[in-house]
Amino acid sequence: MKQIKLNLERNVSSSYDICIGHNILDRIGLIIAKNNGAHRHIVIADSTVSALHGDSFLDILRKMNLTADLIEFPAGEASKNMDTILSVARQLIELGADRSSALIALGGGVTGDIVGFVASIYMRSIPYIQVPTTLVAQVDSSIGGKTGIDLPEGKNLLGTFYQPKGVFIDLQFLDTLPDYEFNNGLAEIVKYGIIDDVTLFDLLENQTEDIKKRDMTLMKRIVQQSCTIKRGIVEIDEKDVGIRRILNFGHTIGHAVEAESGYTISHGDAVSVGMIAAARICQKLDYLPSADRKRIETLIRALDLLDHIPESISTPGILSRIATDKKKKGHIVHFVLLKRIGVPFINGSVADRIIHETIEELRK
Ligand code: GLY
């Protein structure tokens, strides 16, 4: 098992380990029992993860003589709302959870966001642990303490920065992951290669077929490297006021495409086509060499991720969503651009004309 320490200088007691391995659930139970000191553990999972892994995970904790219960909520992004938070909080009260209890988020990004948010406000905050079961949660959302829920007015409008006590990543969860979920994670991994690590990008280019087969040894290496990159960025900018924004590479246009499709396009596909759009914009602005832009497009295609914007998604619709985003964020969209693969920078604005032209180019 590999351990990566995330150090937060502002508060050493908020630092924590990210543990990565294959088939390590028993060891995870042991570490939780040894290090955590909570009197009671409450595992929180959505209905899908609960059916697949809920009982076996509870058994592991109970085998360690820990008092453990499970709270379940309906699977899906629609659960990321205040009703779920209140329902989970009330169930915690019924179970007798108090400030000596700890929560365990067993699941993907939605579960991590919900559990982190509840943990940050329940009885003025209690500890929580992340056990991410999707690839995107393993390489991205479980690390860095962002929590949040959606409002009808928009996504993640209520939330906190609240770091977990530990992140435990077991690659065996990838065995039961549907392809679209695996691809959501792959898109974020490609993003890490593009914004931070040309060696990771080379590896993705050279091992595309084995990645698609989910070769475990290779995936372990790739997940470890991705977590190391995310750890490094969060250590410098925990509160997302500077360098952490480079994690949004491909997301400005990607989020607009995803929302304009009514969320029928997956996050991974939307970010993939968003990264191609961003790379094309960088080349048009004479920042990125065309060879690098071509490598990005070729890799995205080789991994079977989305490389075009379907005709059904209108250009004015995408542009208006980018403009709304801009209004919400103080009239500045922080576009993440590239000088070359591995060298990103943040730009205050890109002319609408260039975004429009790029979107039109990406029609098939
Ligand atoms: N997923 C983006 C971030 O953690 O900042």
The DSSP 8-state label assigned to residue 127 in this structure reads -
Determine which residue's CA is closest to atom 3 belonging to ligand 1. 247
Q: Considering the entire predicted model, what is its pTM?
A: 0.96
CATH of 2-177, one of 3.40.50.2300, 3.30.420.40, 3.40.50.10900, 3.40.50.1970: 3.40.50.1970
SS3 215: coil
For ligand 1, the distance from its centroid to the CA atom of residue 184, given in whole angstroms, is: 14
pLDDT tens, 310-351? 999 999 999 999 988 766 666 677 789 999 999 999 987 789
Using one digit for the tens of pLDDT, what is the confidence trace for 92-145? 999 999 999 999 999 999 999 999 999 999 999 999 999 999 999 999 999 999
Q: Side chain identity at 344, as an amino acid letter?
A: P
The domain limits of the chain are 2-177, 190-362
Percent of the chain surpassing pLDDT 70 = 98
pLDDT tens-digit map of 63-85? 999 999 999 999 999 999 999 99
Ligand 1 atom at shortest distance from the alpha carbon of 247: 2
Instruction: Decide if domain 190-362 falls under CATH 1.10.1040.10.
Output: no
Q: Is the CB of 267 under 6 A from ligand 1?
A: no
- Encode 77-108: b = buried (16+ Cβ within 10 Å), e = exposed: eebbbeebbeebbebbeeeebeeebbbbbbbb
- CA 94 – ligand 1 centroid, Å: 33
Give residue 7's region: left, alpha or beta (phi > 0; psi -120 to 50): beta
- Ligand 1 atom with the smallest distance to the CA of 233 is 5
Does 140 contact ligand 1 (Cβ within 6 A)? yes
